[in-house]
Amino acid sequence: MATGDFSLIPAKKITSPHDAGLDALGAQLAELSPSLDTADAWPAEQLRLCGEAGVFEWFAPQELGGQAWHEADLLRAYVELAAACLTTTFVITQRVGAMQRIAAGESAAAREELLPDLISGRTFATVGISHLTTSRQHLSRPVLRAEEGSGDFLLDGYSPWVTGAEFAQHVVLGATLGDGRQVLLAVPTNLMGVRIDRAPLLVGLSASRTGRVQLEQVRVPRKWLLAGPAHDVMKHGFGARTGGHQTSALAIGLATSAIDFLQRQSDARAELVEPADALIEEREALMGAMLQLAGDTAVSTAQTCLTTSNELRTRANSLALRASQAALAAAKGAGYVVGHPAGRWCREALFFLVWSCPQPVLHANLCELAGIQE
């Protein structure tokens, strides 16, 4: 199994979303982003840079060695990073998802043995939980099943969408027992019976190496149990936030890349000024609504009446799709050539129609695409 090189060298850490170091990191990620459109790419260098900058500390409690940023500040940073490189930022969300579930989980062994290296960037972990939330929900039989033993859990089946599993030392997986209860386990990827399939090529973000993890009669020691057995384990504490504001932040970040391009083009092309200004205004309103929903009381959202995460997600998806296509239209034929960022942004925007997309959001986006006024 391949593993990434996450060895670190001393570097000045970013301690606030207003830190100039965040702009410098974004510039580095943006410069490297075209390399991720090649076959078999993986953002190892980008993740190393993020580790040096202390990015993974932002999300961890101070008592565990983290910086414990406020959610609104995390969302600001997510927007900045996604505008620079969506693939790297998406991978970070999956790593952070694993870290947060380990930090809040019931396993002291997992916290003590795994978190220090994950927070520093020396190791990598990811999550495989979509089959408990939005994926494969139409199937009568759970795709990943568990049997509880006296000292372990026996896992059999597969997790359909796991990011970067080839490079992970642990995958936080959700599985379902015969009585319908569920468990979350930090599964070591070197256990006998774990097989990581080659990730498929995706329309966008192929370098995230997102694909299937197979588990054939895998015995996971009870020390790695993070939560459960319980019905709807993802609704217990830390699990309930899956697909929340961070997903909208990444969509707004991608839209920002496209809008910035359109704005630069409008400096020399008067016909682009009005659409660029309109998209900028919408982006600022969505940003304000997101920060207010995240608890930033200093933000005014007079321009918007968004009150729920689903409404925010619906609008953010729409903005990412429209802004990326506007950038492509402004780029004309050059944007349709492989390698131009406008084409990549259009492909990446489609990701938000399928990534952790709740049914109300999917319905609203489908109605918009069909021209149906709700």
- Looking at domain 20-124, does it have CATH number 1.10.540.10? yes
HSE-up of residue 8 (Cα within 13 Å, Cβ side): 21
Domain spans of the chain, in order of start:
20-124, 126-237, 243-369
Residue 315 carries which side chain, given as an amino acid letter?
A: R
pLDDT confidence bin for 138, thresholds 50/70/90: very low
Question: Which sign does the torsion angle of CA 356, 358, 359, 364 carry?
Answer: negative
pLDDT digits (tens, 9 = 90+) for 343-373: 999 999 999 999 888 888 889 999 998 999 8
pLDDT confidence bin for 5, thresholds 50/70/90: very low
State the Cα torsion 136-137-138-144 to the nearest 10°: 60
Which pTM was predicted? 0.92
The first and second tokens of residue 145, run together, are 């099943």
For 203, which DSSP code?
Answer: S
CATH superfamily entry for domain 243-369: Butyryl-CoA Dehydrogenase, subunit A, domain 3 (1.20.140.10)
The Cα 97–Cα 273 span in angstroms is 39
Pairing of strands 125-128, 170-176: parallel
pLDDT confidence bin for 306, thresholds 50/70/90: low
Question: Which sign does the torsion angle of CA 316, 320, 323, 325 carry?
Answer: negative
- Bridge partners for 184 per DSSP: 174, 227
The Cα 154–Cα 214 span in angstroms is 13
- Bridge partners for 157 per DSSP: 144, 215
pLDDT digits (tens, 9 = 90+) for 37-46: 887 899 999 9
pLDDT digits (tens, 9 = 90+) for 62-110: 998 899 999 999 999 999 999 999 999 999 999 999 999 999 999 999 9
* Contact yes or no for 145/152 (Cβ under 8 A): no
pLDDT digits (tens, 9 = 90+) for 139-193: 568 899 999 999 999 999 999 999 999 999 999 999 999 999 999 999 999 999 9
Give me the DSSP letters along 237-254.
GGGGGTTSHHHHHHHHHH
* pLDDT value for 303: 52
Q: What is the mean pLDDT of the chain?
A: 90
* pLDDT value for 10: 43
* Contact yes or no for 183/177 (Cβ under 8 A): yes
Lowest mean pLDDT among 1-10, 58-67, 295-304, 352-361: 1-10
Which architecture does CATH list for 126-237?
Answer: Beta Barrel (2.40)
Q: For the chain, how long is the longest CA-to-CA vector?
A: 71
